[in-house]
Chain A
Amino acid sequence: MDNINQVEILIVEDNPSDAEMALRAFKKNNLTNKILVVEDGEEALNYLFCKGQYATKTKESRPKIILLDLKLPKINGLEVLKEIKGHPDTKIIPVIVLTSSKEESDIIESYQLGVNSYIVKPVDFEKFVEAVRDLGFYWLLLNQLPRL
């Protein structure tokens, strides 16, 4: 990523295969926005709150959307979500949770913490592409964020 201040989509995913599939799904849907993939919860929070390796990032630049896996090293997805939705600077960013199974109880808790939507990561890639397309259109193209 050349410029960390121009990120539009933040993907928090520790599994590089899943991350790649997600990127491919965006690409296949012609959503060519600037995407940053971070591999754990800590890095995600550092990025969002301009800390650690992202200390140079300007606070004003915010991603348009965050795709958040729940099972993450160091700080798990629910904790990351809690931070994002608990902070006035970030709580407005739409967060889409990526889950392995729709039956997971985590989904309920995610909603309680203020998640905007979720995508079940299906084994069938075609279905995944469809899901990303639907959500991407909505959150990136249709849903206008208020200016801060």
Chain B
Amino acid sequence: MSANKDNLQFRIITLALLMVAHLIAFSSPDTLVAHNYSISYSTFDTILIGSEPDYPPYCIVDEDGQPDGFSIELFMAAAKAAGLQVKIKIGIWEVIKNELADGKIDALPLVGRTPEREEIFGFTLPYLKLHGAVFVRKDTKDIHSLRDLTEKKLIIMKGDNADEYARRMNLSEDIINTNTFEEAFQMLANGEGDAVITQRIMGLRLLENMEISTIKPLDIQLPEFRQDFCFAVKKGNQKLLNQLNEGLSVVIANDTYQQIYFKWFGPAIKEELSTEDIVRIALFIFFPLVIILVVLWVLLLRKEVKRRTRRLRNEITNHKNTWHELTLKQEKLAASEDQIRLLLDSTAEGIYGIDENGDCTLINKSAIQILGYESDTEIIGKNMHNQIHHTKVDGSPYPKNECAIYNSLIQGRGAHVDDEVLWKKDGSNFQAEYYSYPIQQHEKVVGAVVTFWDITEKKRTEKELIKLTEELELTVKKRTAELNEKVLKLDKSQQAMLFMVEDLNRITAELKNERRKLELSNKELEAFTYSVSHDLRAPMRAINGFSNFLLEDYADKLDQEGRRYLDTIKKNAIKMDKLITDLLSLSRVTKADLVYTTVDMEQMATRAFEDMATTNEKQDFNLKIINLPSIKGDVTLLTQVWQNLIGNALKYSSNSIEKNIEITATDSKNEVVYKISDSGAGFNEKYKDKLFGMFQRLHRDNEFEGTGVGLAIVKRIIIRHGGRVWAEGEVGQGARFYFALPKQS
């Protein structure tokens, strides 16, 4: 039963495959050509095919040497169905394969389809699927996978698809080719190789025929060596291929295939198609198709359902909207009335409406409150003028025809009033401000709306404000007056200042003028000094010089007295020259600008002594200079001071036996006092004021020569330095001269 079932499955699959093949064929241009040929297939042609002698149970020869086997029988049946007569030629595989390639034979009944062979052959539908196997001797232990074959010696029939497969997959380097598999198995049995690779069923049959029991197939899967077996023609022989395909289809369809199959393989072998294949085919062809169809159908259904659902939903939404709008409108209407009422009641201003007669039609809460009522029922329908507007502020009645609200009714114009009173329920009144506007309907005044509020507080504030403003104005006026007064005073003092400035400017101008004059006279003085130094001395030189010439050239003509006269003339001329020199240095002291530097007074005094003293004096004098601090001053002028003072000390000590000069200093906070003492002639204190005067002398010329200018120069220099100068002394007891110089220049 299971065999039948398998067979049925196989047939179904084969038919399906054929259908698919046809579908594919119809879609290619080749098919049209094939179809043309197929029209003429009823003509009986004879074809020559090749067959192998020992490929059981597919291709073999029987005891009579006639070709036999499953493939041969199938081919013959298919050829017959296709109207072909067949001649069979026996040959080894390698030979008949080449003969087909060369066109020497027309077809082969059993060719495994491989990519290599498709280059040279045309293949019919596959009618068998054959699996390969690795055959080894039963005692072989070291081959468990294809990888273990790498180092082994393989024996394969030359040109067999096993050979092609082994070389394609590079199973081993070492492959021995035989002409037939019989030969190969014999070699394996003899131990001349390690394994034979061939088609499993054929291998088993061959071993059985050869009665070899020492060889077995391994369970190793050869996925690349699962062969589809077909009839083959020379490539391009489309006509024959089509005929064979037709024939094959026929024998499969009319059970001939099944009968031949049973004859050769029996029910036990179910090699051709495994359940796995069927499942795979089902998985890959039928299920996807079914699923696609189902999916399409489901999609269509869903689409339709969606479309209808949408339509229904739209209708529902429309109905809902309409209903909602209606509800909203109703609510709005109710709400707007409430809103208006709320608005009116929430307003701080009092609002009421009147009809054309002035009767109250509407009044808000504020109005009721301001007017002192409890509810609108007390007022609605009442004449508002009579109710709240009947009397003027002065107590006189307020006639309706004067009322601004009435007028706004009659004239249809708005009115604004803020200087009237309104009357409360309790008979009191309050100052009010109000607007009255007519209500118009169809261009006709049907009433008015009055807005009012209590302005008592506002009026009071206004009054206060006015009062405050007045007070402020008064203050401002007062302050302004004060300010003006101050400004006036300021103006006056400014005026005074201006006068002062004018005076100052005038004085400055005068000063400038004076200064200019002074500068001018200074310049004149300078010119004068220059003139004195130059011109005044020239005659002196002439007097002296020519006296000299007289003494030299005419000495023999002069007696002693004459020569004395000439000497006196010469001496006086020289004295005059000295006088001029001193005068010049005095003028220089007055004129020159002071250049302040730090002066080393001790060094300066020492040098002055060196300059002033003659060689003899330097020997004779006992000079002491003790600790003179440095001070800021003009080097040239201070040198002159020391020279004059030391010169004096030397001069006035010349007649004394003791010749001492001592120079010391006293350093105090603000000044340094320098002192120079000598043991010379001294002076009478009575005349000490005259000491520093110009041309003043306390000694006669025959005692000590001099011009009376030296100390005057000293005084001027010290005074120009901002210092003081003075002297002490007694006749015959020496003199002490002091000068003080400030530390800050």
Q: Nearest-CB distance from A39 to chain B (Å)?
A: 14
Q: Which residues of B contact A18 (CB under 8 A)?
A: 538, 541-542
Q: Given known contacts A21-B541, A71-B534, A103-B584, is B574 in contact with A124 (CB within 8 Å)?
A: yes
Contact B538 A15 (CB under 8 A): yes
Question: Chain A CB within 10 Å — which of B533, B538, B577 has the most?
Answer: B538
Specify which chain B residues have a CB less than 8 angstroms from the CB of A126 in the assembled complex. 548
Bound form: Cα–Cα A126–B544 in Å: 10
- Evaluate contact between A100 and B544: CB separation under 8 angstroms: no
> Are the CB atoms of A17 and B538 closer together than 8 Å?
yes
Is B440 in contact with chain A by the CB < 8 A criterion?
Answer: no
Inter-subunit contact B541/A122 (CB<8 Å): yes
How would you classify the secondary structure of chain A's contact residues: helix, strand, loop or mixed? loop
In chain B, what residue has the closest Cβ to A126? Answer: B548
Question: Is A51 interfacial (CB-CB < 8 Å)?
Answer: no
Does B545 contact A104, Cβ atoms closer than 8 Å?
no
Q: A123-B537, A124-B574, A126-B548 in contact; A101/B542 too (CB < 8 A)?
A: no
In the complex, per-residue mask of B588-609: 1 if CB is within 8 Å of any chain A CB, else 0: 1000000000000000000000
**CB-defined contacts of B537 to chain A, threshold 8 Å:** 100-101, 121, 123
Q: Is A125 an interface residue when CB atoms closer than 8 A count as contact? A: yes
Interface status of A59 (Cβ within 8 A of chain B): no
Q: Which residues of B contact A (CB under 8 A)?
A: 530, 533-535, 537-538, 540-542, 544-546, 548-549, 573-574, 576-577, 581, 584-585, 588
Tell which of A15, A101, A121, A124 touches B581, judged by Cβ atoms closer than 8 Å. A101
Q: Which residues of A contact B544 (CB under 8 A)?
A: 123-125
Contact status A17-B548, CB under 8 Å: no
Residues of B near A101 (CB, < 8 A) are 533-534, 537, 581, 584
In the complex, what residues of B have CB within 8 A of residue A104's CB?
Answer: 530, 533
Collect the chain A residues with CB atoms within 8 Å of residue B540's CB: 123
Distance to closest chain A CB from B176 (angstroms): 128
Nearest-neighbor residue (CB-CB) of B542 within chain A:
A17
Report yes or no: A100 in contact with B534, Cβ–Cβ below 8 A: yes
A103 and B574: CB pair below 8 A?
Answer: no
Q: A123-B537, A123-B577 are in contact. Are A103 and B588 (CB under 8 A)?
A: yes
Please, what's the 1-or-0 string for A56-82, where 1 marks a CB less than 8 Å from any CB in chain B?
000000000000000100000000000
Flag A105-135 by CB within 8 Å of B: 1 or 0 each.
Answer: 0000000000000000111111010000000
Secondary structure call for the B interface: helix
Residue among A21, A100, A123 with the most chain B CB within 10 A?
A: A123
Q: Which residue of B lies closest to A102 (CB)?
A: B581
Q: With contacts A15-B538, A17-B538 known, is A100 near B548, CB below 8 A?
A: no
15 other contacts beyond A103-B533, A125-B545, A125-B549, with CB at 8 A cut-off? Answer: A15-B542, A17-B538, A17-B541, A18-B541, A24-B549, A100-B534, A100-B538, A101-B533, A101-B534, A101-B584, A104-B533, A121-B541, A125-B544, A125-B548, A128-B545
Residues of B within 8 A of A125 (CB): 541, 544-545, 548-549
**Chain A hits for B574, CB < 8 A:** 123-124
Cα–Cα distance between A15 and B542 once the two chains are bound (Å): 10
A18 to B573, CA, bound (A): 15
Instruction: Tell me which of A18, A21, A103, A125 has the highest count of chain B C-beta atoms within 10 A of its own C-beta.
Output: A125
Using Cβ atoms and an 8 Å threshold, which residues of chain A touch B584?
Answer: 101, 103
A105 to chain B, nearest CB (A): 9
Kindly provide the distance from the CB of A125 to the nearest chain B CB, expressed in whole angstroms.
4
A68 to B584 CA separation, bound complex (whole angstroms): 23
Chain B residue with the shortest CB-CB distance to A22: B545
With a cutoff of 8 Å between Cβ atoms, the chain A residues found around residue B581 in the complex are: 101
User: Distance (Å) between the CB of A83 and the closest chain B CB?
Assistant: 21
B577's nearest neighbour on chain A, judged by CB, is A123
- What residue in chain B is nearest A129 (Cβ atoms)? B548
For the complex, what is the distance from the CA of A21 to the CA of B136, rounded to whole Å?
161
CB closest chain-B residue, reference A14 = B538
List 24 interface pairs A-B (beta carbons < 8 Å), by A numbering.
A17-B538, A17-B542, A17-B546, A18-B538, A21-B542, A24-B545, A24-B549, A71-B535, A100-B534, A101-B533, A101-B534, A101-B584, A103-B584, A103-B585, A104-B530, A104-B533, A121-B537, A121-B541, A123-B544, A123-B573, A124-B574, A125-B541, A125-B548, A126-B548
Query: By the criterion CB–CB under 8 Å, are B542 and A100 in contact?
Result: no
Bound Cα distance from A93 to B623, whole angstroms: 49
